[in-house]
Chain A
């Protein structure tokens, strides 16, 4: 049977991944709630992961999926630490609006 990738065509995967990436970028820039920003970053990371897996299947090479492995591990670690920092910020300032984080101004 044919490869799934070959059935659908690799371009669609590429479009999907780039679209997801752009949505993630938009969310990072547009949203003021810090948690939503983090989630947008996650979207970007997942878009990249999707692209890696797609190419791995297309080239019938397992090494792409190994990279996804590590990417997910790093993403998890980053989210954990980021959310912990956010919790501290919330405890100090009382809101999670990133517009309030202006102490570096000037």
Chain B
């Protein structure tokens, strides 16, 4: 029964993918979208059912589907593992996924390839579920690769635009670089323990006496994989470019689900990372640095989706900071709340873009508050959440991260707090530029401003409500999430009783956020500043606006040499190799032509050869005696 339900959970989106691939063009768009949404909804309901069966003390459900690899003493099954961690992830992946599917029915309605879109979305959800409920690292890797593939397909969905294709390729290739690290980590772990099963590895590792340096190397390689997938330094540049895809894609993949796969993997392997404190330090530092750099770039961006993209990178950095300090449950908490409010923000921005018929530059927006009230209010709730204002969800989770940082390392706390203040600033900058003051777009757009249809606003409302009350799952008084995740996290977990120390830290964080909001208010409302045109930006602002020229640096360092190398191969090496190989045939041909000359057809020559042969034979026989 459980096996069947788990298989239904896993395969239902895949069935949706197959349906949309084979029949999507023939049915009308509504049915195609409805089937796509329905399949994800079925997965969501199955995960809810499983969730109700679980409490912190339930043993995980392990389902083995079939024996996959069985070589020497290395055994690997294709199996599913449903425990508290994977259930949490399943809930919000399928839940937010189904909401976004619903949203896409209306958002992608004008597109001719809508069925293809839903096929890809369903395939993505299928791979994400595989990633989450895999029982060993290799099944997780299948899902890992699959979501990377779907990300490529969906970013480049409007394939006729070449820059979108380039963005898709960039995303995939950077993911691949991370995947190399992931694979190396898998190889090291597999050779050390002869198994890649999570349960098996946990037992082997907690038994102690493994080679720490090798473990550190494996953990580092796995972290590199997480960097690629979750857009940390230095593999983060694909995420802002990935905004080339349709907004539901950005919401689903690059806010709520795929980028959290790295965090999921690290949390899954917490027993490994707990044994390698050096790698944990690296994770924390990288996370913090990413948070700061991304937040600083986000301060000056003018594309509404790019601001949100950099905000995602920054928040992911904060989550990795928590992971690096060993506070896995705090990171998971922030993942969940972040999924709610970031998805809401992306969907809201999609609603704005849709109403303005594709306009994404904030400098041409403004004053949309009256025309699109539902969008405005839902986005405001989510912005308050991300800025960390009491009592919205983001306040609780971000605050926990800052508290943990303060206890471990004051410098990291300082940097993370600065990043949070910047977050508050640029998020409210976004809100002010988009919704307040007067409209700065064309008259044509102004006449057509209206609130989006209900299929778009319903998911917005649901997500906003979740962003509001989401903090309840782990309030400092009744820490339900911590208890729920106890069996997964073998190590210590942070639990703060509410004392004066904690109140003070909470107060500092709130004050910082309010300071950011007030600064943005004074700049963009009181002084009514509108950001300059691209050509007028100068000085440090220019450097930050151009993303610190990191992309150009990568192009110079990596892309150009590879391009020239492949050019060399194409123009020089391949023709010469071709010549070498063809020459075999040519030589045979020439030898054959020479041999052809023997057949002259003249009898005289034949008899001549005849006689010569006889003479040779006779003399040989004679001499040999």
A33 to B: closest C-beta gap in Å:
12
Taken together as a complex, chains A and B put the C-alpha atoms of A102 and B603 apart, in Å, by: 8
Q: Is the CB of B602 within 8 A of A102?
A: yes
Which of the residues A28, A102, A104, A105 comes within 8 Å of B607, measured between beta carbons? A28
A39 to B: closest C-beta gap in Å:
15
* Nearest opposing residue in chain A for B600, CB measure: A105
User: Is A66 in contact with chain B by the CB < 8 A criterion?
Assistant: no
Which of the residues B596, B602, B607 comes within 8 Å of A99, measured between beta carbons? B602
Taken together as a complex, chains A and B put the C-alpha atoms of A98 and B603 apart, in Å, by: 7
User: Is A23 in contact with chain B by the CB < 8 A criterion?
Assistant: no
User: Is A74 in contact with chain B by the CB < 8 A criterion?
Assistant: no
Within A88-106, the residues touching B (CB, 8 Å) are: 98-99, 101-106
Taken together as a complex, chains A and B put the C-alpha atoms of A99 and B601 apart, in Å, by: 9
Within B578-613, the residues touching A (CB, 8 Å) are: 596, 599-604, 607-608, 611
* Nearest opposing residue in chain B for A102, CB measure: B601
A17 to B: closest C-beta gap in Å:
15
In addition to A99-B604, A104-B599, 7 A-B residue pairs with Cβ atoms within 8 Å of each other are A25-B611, A29-B608, A98-B602, A98-B603, A101-B601, A105-B602, A106-B596
Secondary structure at the B interface, as helix, strand, loop or mixed, is helix
Within A52-106, the residues touching B (CB, 8 Å) are: 98-99, 101-106
Taken together as a complex, chains A and B put the C-alpha atoms of A99 and B604 apart, in Å, by: 8
Residues of A within 8 A of B611 (CB): 25, 28-29
Residues of A within 8 A of B604 (CB): 29, 32, 98-99
Residues of B within 8 A of A99 (CB): 602, 604
Q: Is the CB of B608 within 8 A of A102?
A: no
Taken together as a complex, chains A and B put the C-alpha atoms of A103 and B600 apart, in Å, by: 9
Residues of B within 8 A of A28 (CB): 607, 611
Residues of B within 8 A of A102 (CB): 600-602
Which of the residues A98, A101, A105 comes within 8 Å of B599, measured between beta carbons? A105
Binding site for B on A (CB under 8 A): 25, 28-29, 32, 98-99, 101-106
Within B605-624, the residues touching A (CB, 8 Å) are: 607-608, 611
Q: Is the CB of B599 within 8 A of A106?
A: yes
Closest A-B pairs by Cβ, 8 of them = A105-B601, A102-B601, A104-B601, A98-B603, A28-B607, A105-B600, A29-B608, A25-B611
Within B315-365, the residues touching A (CB, 8 Å) are: none
Taken together as a complex, chains A and B put the C-alpha atoms of A32 and B604 apart, in Å, by: 8
Residues of B within 8 A of A29 (CB): 604, 607-608, 611
* Nearest opposing residue in chain B for A31, CB measure: B604
Taken together as a complex, chains A and B put the C-alpha atoms of A105 and B602 apart, in Å, by: 8
Residues of B within 8 A of A98 (CB): 602-604
Residues of B within 8 A of A104 (CB): 599, 601
Residues of B within 8 A of A105 (CB): 599-602
Residues of A within 8 A of B602 (CB): 98-99, 101-102, 105
Within B74-131, the residues touching A (CB, 8 Å) are: none
Taken together as a complex, chains A and B put the C-alpha atoms of A65 and B596 apart, in Å, by: 46
Taken together as a complex, chains A and B put the C-alpha atoms of A32 and B602 apart, in Å, by: 11
B48 to A: closest C-beta gap in Å:
83
Residues of A within 8 A of B600 (CB): 102, 105
Residues of B within 8 A of A103 (CB): 601
A35 to B: closest C-beta gap in Å:
14
Residues of A within 8 A of B596 (CB): 106
B493 to A: closest C-beta gap in Å:
90
Taken together as a complex, chains A and B put the C-alpha atoms of A106 and B604 apart, in Å, by: 16
Residues of B within 8 A of A32 (CB): 604
Residues of A within 8 A of B601 (CB): 101-106
Taken together as a complex, chains A and B put the C-alpha atoms of A106 and B601 apart, in Å, by: 7
Residues of A within 8 A of B599 (CB): 104-106
B489 to A: closest C-beta gap in Å:
85
Residues of B within 8 A of A25 (CB): 611
Mind listing 15 A-B residue pairs with CB under 8 Å?
Answer: A25-B611, A28-B607, A28-B611, A29-B611, A98-B603, A98-B604, A99-B604, A101-B601, A101-B602, A102-B602, A103-B601, A104-B601, A105-B599, A105-B601, A106-B599
Taken together as a complex, chains A and B put the C-alpha atoms of A28 and B611 apart, in Å, by: 10
Within B550-604, the residues touching A (CB, 8 Å) are: 596, 599-604
Within B371-420, the residues touching A (CB, 8 Å) are: none
Taken together as a complex, chains A and B put the C-alpha atoms of A99 and B605 apart, in Å, by: 10
Taken together as a complex, chains A and B put the C-alpha atoms of A98 and B608 apart, in Å, by: 14
Taken together as a complex, chains A and B put the C-alpha atoms of A104 and B599 apart, in Å, by: 7
Residues of B within 8 A of A106 (CB): 596, 599, 601
Taken together as a complex, chains A and B put the C-alpha atoms of A101 and B608 apart, in Å, by: 16
A98 to B: closest C-beta gap in Å:
5
Taken together as a complex, chains A and B put the C-alpha atoms of A29 and B603 apart, in Å, by: 9
Taken together as a complex, chains A and B put the C-alpha atoms of A80 and B607 apart, in Å, by: 21
Which of B600, B603, B608, B611 gathers the greatest number of chain A CB atoms within 10 Å?
B603
Taken together as a complex, chains A and B put the C-alpha atoms of A103 and B50 apart, in Å, by: 89
Taken together as a complex, chains A and B put the C-alpha atoms of A29 and B611 apart, in Å, by: 9
Taken together as a complex, chains A and B put the C-alpha atoms of A67 and B600 apart, in Å, by: 37
B600 to A: closest C-beta gap in Å:
6
B164 to A: closest C-beta gap in Å:
61
B601 to A: closest C-beta gap in Å:
3
A13 to B: closest C-beta gap in Å:
20
* Nearest opposing residue in chain A for B603, CB measure: A98
B486 to A: closest C-beta gap in Å:
90
Residues of A within 8 A of B607 (CB): 28-29
* Nearest opposing residue in chain A for B608, CB measure: A29
Taken together as a complex, chains A and B put the C-alpha atoms of A99 and B603 apart, in Å, by: 7
* Nearest opposing residue in chain A for B596, CB measure: A106
Taken together as a complex, chains A and B put the C-alpha atoms of A99 and B607 apart, in Å, by: 13
B145 to A: closest C-beta gap in Å:
59
Taken together as a complex, chains A and B put the C-alpha atoms of A28 and B600 apart, in Å, by: 18
Taken together as a complex, chains A and B put the C-alpha atoms of A37 and B607 apart, in Å, by: 11
What mask results when residues 35 to 61 of chain B are scored 1 for a CB within 8 Å of chain A, else 0?
000000000000000000000000000
B596 to A: closest C-beta gap in Å:
6
B216 to A: closest C-beta gap in Å:
75
* Nearest opposing residue in chain A for B606, CB measure: A104
Taken together as a complex, chains A and B put the C-alpha atoms of A30 and B608 apart, in Å, by: 10
B606 to A: closest C-beta gap in Å:
10
* Nearest opposing residue in chain B for A103, CB measure: B601
A51 to B: closest C-beta gap in Å:
15
A65 to B: closest C-beta gap in Å:
26
Taken together as a complex, chains A and B put the C-alpha atoms of A49 and B602 apart, in Å, by: 30
Taken together as a complex, chains A and B put the C-alpha atoms of A103 and B599 apart, in Å, by: 10
* Nearest opposing residue in chain A for B597, CB measure: A106
Residues of A within 8 A of B608 (CB): 29
